[in-house]
């Protein structure tokens, strides 16, 4: 597998805070890499440096090919754009030199897959947070980048959009894209991530397969305890107001999601039973 980007001995300090002390990462093609860590641990900083938007104080970011295409979705995509999604994507596509026919076809496909086609001619500054986030994701993947860098891309997306996005990431990977992303809530990404790294105290450490989380918590609306209590895959059921929290092993979660949808239940969230550490002091 070819290497795309090498980040070597990266250091970054803001004021007196050593955010990244000595971080190295070799990014190869066709990978989905998760970068996790507590609030303020330096994930966004690392992603901005990897995307070439911010300079490290020391260390090197080496792209093997100068023409490498990088797609970047910031944690907060600008919400005051007066373009419509269609105008904005068209503009981004043109800047990136995508031929008109290909651009039109890709825009139509993305708008449809993200269920944004009905909003395509509304101004972005009038859209909801989740729909603005979708535009942010679409502008980054429109050009089928070699490296896609996503800072908490799921924030604000409803469950179907999250699922669609995970499928799109897997397709992009097949076509050669490497994705570097961060997320907090346990997520739909976990089944497709190839490598997970944690940032802690300014250092990066790879998670070993044996440390991986195995228990998922699915929050469901619209079904009763009696509907699910006989399902042998369910480890625990908790009623939270009108919703049920179902704990299942990760490997059974897709099966359970399918059963819930068959009962016309609505999946509010899927998360790990988790251990979030806070780094901000």
Residues that bind ligand ATP (CB under 6 A): 14, 17, 19, 37, 39-45, 75, 280
Q: Is 30 in contact with 176 (CB distance < 8 Å)?
A: yes
Biggest CA–CA distance in the chain, Å, is 59
Q: Is 169 in contact with 180 (CB distance < 8 Å)?
A: no
CB of 195 to ligand ATP, least distance (A): 18
CB of 45 to ligand ATP, least distance (A): 3
User: Which is closer to ligand ATP, CB of 111 or CB of 157?
Assistant: 157
CB of 248 to ligand ATP, least distance (A): 27
CB of 85 to ligand ATP, least distance (A): 25
Q: Is 43 in contact with 280 (CB distance < 8 Å)?
A: no
Q: Is 248 in contact with 260 (CB distance < 8 Å)?
A: no
User: Which is closer to ligand ATP, CB of 4 or CB of 20?
Assistant: 20
CB of 264 to ligand ATP, least distance (A): 35
CB of 155 to ligand ATP, least distance (A): 10
Between CA 273 and CA 214 the distance in angstroms is 9
Q: Which tokens in the block code for residue 136?
A: 């942010």
User: Which is closer to ligand ATP, CB of 20 or CB of 218?
Assistant: 20
User: Which is closer to ligand ATP, CB of 47 or CB of 70?
Assistant: 47
Alpha helix segments (H runs only) across 142-219: 159-174
How many helices and strands, by DSSP H and E, does the chain display? Answer: 7, 13
User: Which is closer to ligand ATP, CB of 119 or CB of 189?
Assistant: 189
Between CA 279 and CA 275 the distance in angstroms is 13
Q: Which tokens in the block code for residue 257?
A: 């999601």
Could you tell me which of 262, 273, 257 has the C-alpha nearest to residue 163? Answer: 257
User: Which is closer to ligand ATP, CB of 145 or CB of 202?
Assistant: 202
């Amino acid at each position: 597998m070819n290497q795309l980007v090498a980040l070597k001995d990266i250091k970054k300090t803001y004021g007196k805070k050593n955010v990244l002390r000595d971080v190295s990462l070799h990014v190869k093609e066709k990978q989905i890499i998760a970068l996790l860590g507590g609030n303020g641990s330096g994930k966004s900083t690392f992603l901005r440096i990897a995307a070439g938007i911010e300079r490290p104080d020391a260390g090197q970011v080496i792209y093997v090919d100068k023409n490498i295409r990088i797609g970047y979705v910031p944690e907060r995509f600008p919400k005051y754009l007066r373009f419509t999604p269609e105008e904005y994507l068209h503009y981004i596509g043109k800047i990136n030199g995508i031929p008109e026919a290909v651009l039109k076809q890709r825009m139509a496909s993305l708008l449809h897959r993200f269920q944004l086609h009905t909003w395509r001619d509304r101004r972005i500054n009038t859209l909801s947070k989740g729909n603005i986030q979708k535009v942010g994701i679409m502008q980054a993947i429109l050009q089928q980048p070699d490296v896609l860098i996503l800072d908490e891309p799921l924030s604000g997306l409803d469950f179907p959009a999250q699922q669609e996005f995970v499928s799109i990431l897997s397709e992009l990977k097949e076509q050669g894209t490497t994705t570097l992303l961060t997320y907090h809530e346990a997520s739909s990404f976990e089944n497709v991530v190839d490598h997970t790294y944690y940032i802690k105290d300014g250092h990066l450490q790879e998670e070993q397969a044996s440390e991986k989380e195995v228990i998922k918590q699915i929050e469901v609306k619209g079904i009763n305890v009696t509907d699910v209590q006989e399902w042998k895959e369910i480890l625990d059921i908790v009623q939270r107001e009108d919703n049920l929290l179902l704990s299942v092993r990760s490997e059974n979660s897709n099966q359970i999601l399918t059963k819930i949808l068959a009962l016309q239940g609505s999946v509010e969230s899927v998360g790990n039973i988790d251990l979030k550490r806070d780094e901000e002091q």
